[in-house]
Amino acid sequence: MSFWHGRKVLVTGGASFIGSHVVERLVGNGAQVSVADDFSSGKRENLGALVDELTIFEGDLKVSDLAAAACDGQEIVFHLAADHGGRGYVDLHQYACATNLGLDQSVFAACLARGVGKVVFASSGRAHESRRRQLIGEPAAGMGARSSLRQGLKGDGRLVLLDEGQRQRAFVSG
């Protein structure tokens, strides 16, 4: 039986492109999945028919009451909600990006207060790209997130998040 079977898992930003694939995989492995999203860039359509199987917490996770409600009773939280816009976004939208600090704080504090056992945080491969290259002695592959994600989701009972460099960044295994 899959590690995920029956586990209570929250995906913040679960309506996003990446988040919805994480949700799909978790549901496929039998997890009881909740999604917390304000649908600012995420879309219900990304969740497709799965939407009926999910508990949805709609709202801004910077609001601590919402974060607490979403994290309550969860065993594992995948934190993907972010004000995010791809390359160049940080330079052009510095205030918007800075609000992510408040968002992360709100989610992490709620996880701590509600006794969530494990938190998986989706950062950007750009945060540690040089170090990665140093460690594995290879140039960055420069693959797009879509193809990286497809490759990363092949494992059975194992969920892998990949960055743009097509390398495993974090995983939770059974």
Residues that bind ligand NAD (CB under 6 A): 13, 15-19, 36-42, 60-62, 80-84, 103, 122, 124-125, 145, 163-164
- Give 79-128 as a DSSP string: E------STTHHHH-HHHHHHHHHHHHHHHHHHHHTT-SEEEE---GGGS
Q: Which is nearer to ligand NAD, 89 or 117 (CB)?
A: 89
- Checking DSSP bridges between strand 168-172 and strand 159-162, what pairing results, if any? antiparallel
Q: Which residue is nearest to ligand NAD (CB)?
A: 42
At closest approach, how far in Å is the CB of 45 from ligand NAD?
Answer: 12
At closest approach, how far in Å is the CB of 63 from ligand NAD?
Answer: 8
CB 36 within 8 A of CB 30: no
Q: Which of 132, 39, 133 is nearest to 81 (CA)?
A: 39
Structure tokens at 36: 């917390």
Q: Which is nearer to ligand NAD, 40 or 134 (CB)?
A: 40
Q: Scan for tokens 């490759």, then name that residue.
A: 151
At closest approach, how far in Å is the CB of 85 from ligand NAD?
Answer: 7
Q: What are the backbone dihedrals phi and psi of residue 164, each rounded to the nearest 5 degrees, phi first? A: -65, -20
At closest approach, how far in Å is the CB of 147 from ligand NAD?
Answer: 11
At closest approach, how far in Å is the CB of 116 from ligand NAD?
Answer: 17
Q: Which is nearer to ligand NAD, 31 or 35 (CB)?
A: 35
Q: Which is nearer to ligand NAD, 5 or 89 (CB)?
A: 89
Q: Which is nearer to ligand NAD, 2 or 124 (CB)?
A: 124
Structure tokens at 114: 């509600």
